[in-house]
Amino acid sequence: MTTIVEKTAAAPPGALAAPYRALSIGLVALVTLVAFEAMAVATAMPVVARDLDGMPLYNLAFSATLAASVIATVLGGRWSDVRGPLPPIAAGVATFVAGLLLAGFAPNMEVFVAGRFVQGLGAGLIQVALYVLVARAYPPAMHPRVFALFSAAWVVPSMVGPAIAGFVVENTDWRWIFLGVSLIVIPAALLLWRGAAGRTGADDPVAGPAPGLGRKLVWATLTAVAAALLQYGGALKTAGLPLLAAGIVLLAVSLPKLLLPGSMRAARGLPTAPVLRGLAFGALTATEVFIPLMLMNERGLTATGAGVVLTIGALGWSTGSWIKGRGMVGNMAAIRGGAAMIAIGIGLVTLVLLDSMPIAVAYVAMAIAGLGIGALHPTVSVLVLEMSKEGEEGGNSAAVGVGESVFTVVAVAISGALFTAAGESYLIGLAFTALLAVGAFVLAPRFVHASAPGTMEGAAP
């Protein structure tokens, strides 16, 4: 059994304190750039597809990145555990930049999709290796604050990324979204590398990935294919039901091979983490898919007005992460309370379907849901590192990342299918997403549980 105990202690140094400043800035810059590209591309894609005469491949440009990131997350986790986090980060940065350049200079949609696939490989390697870097370069007491910075690094691009991308597309050329990011990624990585020097153990920058990955990568590839089938099946409405069914069957076989032993039955301790965070994040993401459509079609909001609701949710996420990073709430309160807040937020936003309900309720609802995921998401990340044995941080973080990605795809696909099957009923779709959040609430005590007052234990077999 691995035990985590929270106790009163001297406040840890800030993530931007002098010894950690270069590393923290490099981390935030790298995560921000990866996040900005992910957010900005959604705004630019209609123009890209039209310019490259590639509308038939429009969805593939998104699913290719998802599929690649699942594969790379598995590879990066094992590689980081065996060789340390810096080699996979270096490989991830190089691959990500190559994908950006390939997309930025793409002469046709086929090459653009290939570039998006390569970007997904790079982003997957970077993300899981950064988790291991945090475990090795920062003392445990600083982990909550560092992961709060990670959350902010994702939230800010979600607010400004679409606007910047729109400006670039309208005033210059969509290609500069990819080419511009490629110019900034390498300096950010060099700053991170400088700050990490001497803090991560004996990394071998020329060593290749650890042996024994073949079987894992096969299962990762099958899982990525299953996720793509679910994504396409959900988008095709009734005609996509066979794809949905095939994706679910393939996923039932392949996904357990990538998660931790016992994850699919939510065994106590670490195995519950991938399912717990997958349910919570999937519930919120699937809800955010419905919100703009619901507010515009049912309440007459403009696209900008509906987008502001999502922006408030992003601000709530950042605030929730900051509160948890400052140690203002315990682990159980952050995880179980966070899941409850997501469920409450979804319930409140559903009430906006009533014409008598003020639109302001939607803003309050997403602020609550954002606070919930902001508290829950980084807390799970911190506890996974704390509960992992030395040398297993990467594999365990990869399992959580894969679970989150796949559960999110499943949540979006199934909620969309239910929405369509019920005659475009927002009530049915949102009821399903709320149920997922309730599931995370129920599972929370299996991941962490309160013991004596003032302590918190995480149990692992």
pLDDT of 103-125, one tens digit each? 999 999 999 989 999 998 999 89
Report the alpha-carbon distance of residue 347 to residue 97 in Å, rounded: 41
Q: Residue 51, Cβ neighbours under 10 Å: how many?
A: 16
Q: Which residues are CB-neighbours of 40 under 8 A, at least 6 positions away?
A: 157, 161, 162, 164, 165, 168, 177
The per-residue pLDDT for 266 is 86
User: What is the Cα–Cα distance from 309 to 288, expressed in whole angstroms?
Assistant: 9
308: burial class by Cβ within 10 Å (0-12, 13-18, 19+)?
middle
* CATH 1.20.1250.20 residue spans of the chain: 14-211, 262-461
What CATH number was assigned to the domain covering residues 14-211?
A: 1.20.1250.20
Q: What is the pLDDT of residue 206?
A: 39
- Which residues are CB-neighbours of 194 under 8 A, at least 6 positions away? 22, 26
pLDDT in tens, 126-143: 988 888 888 888 888 888
CA nearest 306: which of 363, 374, 258, 353?
363
Helix runs in 199-302, H state only: 214-235, 241-254, 272-299
From the first residue on, what is the mean pLDDT of each consecutive set of 10 residues in the chain (461 residues)? 43 69 84 81 79 78 79 85 85 93 92 92 89 84 82 75 75 87 86 73 45 73 84 67 85 88 89 94 88 84 76 86 83 93 96 91 94 92 86 83 86 83 88 96 84 38 34
- For 143-181, give one letter per residue: b (16+ CB within 10 A) or e: bbbbbbbbbbbbbbbbbebbebbeebbeeeebbbbbebb
- Between CA 148 and CA 451 the distance in angstroms is 26
Q: What pLDDT is stored for residue 132 in this prediction? A: 85
pLDDT value of residue 100: 93
Tokens of 271: 């195995």
Structure confidence at residue 223 (pLDDT): 86
Fold entry, domain 262-461: Growth Hormone; Chain: A; (1.20.1250)
What contacts 354, CB < 8 A, 6 or more positions away?
Answer: none
Q: What are the counts of helices (DSSP H) followed by strands (DSSP E) for the chain? A: 14, 2
pLDDT at res. 292: 79
Residue 456 pLDDT: 38
Which pLDDT score, from 0 to 100, does residue 389 have? Answer: 83
pTM (predicted TM-score) = 0.77
- Could you give the 3-state DSSP secondary structure of residue 84? coil
Residues contacting 403, CB < 8 A, separation 6+: 255, 259, 263, 273, 274, 275, 277, 278
Query: What are the residues facing 213 on neighbouring strands?
Result: none
